[in-house]
Amino acid sequence: MTKQTRAPSALHDYALSIVLTVLFIVTLVGAAISGWFEYASEQADHQQAATIAGEDGYLPVFLEQVFQNWQSEFLALAILISLGTVLIHRGSPESKDTHETRKQRIAKLERRIDRLAAARNGTGEAGR
């Protein structure tokens, strides 16, 4: 049997980007809609007309909220990346061990292997 080759598919090749873009758009539209209702309610409380554009419109308010959110997210991510490159958390797969730590682990494994080999030789199981 020959292995069938699959024709390249943009959906398959770029699925992660497509899904994340769709999720981004859906959440942005959802935030815009819910934000509009909140804005319209506040404008009604002040007996003012709810407008989309203009100095007192919803668009500047929405863009300010979006950029504040992005700013805080990017700041948090930048701090996490910066600290993650400098600091370690021993045992975490994301943290790099120091060279000395790796040497100690290798030495410990070598001693353990030597003890196991000696124990096998002592019981006659070394030939297996």
pLDDT in tens, 64-101: 999 999 999 999 999 988 887 777 776 666 666 667 77
d(CA 52, CA 33): 12
Band (105; pLDDT cuts 50, 70, 90): confident
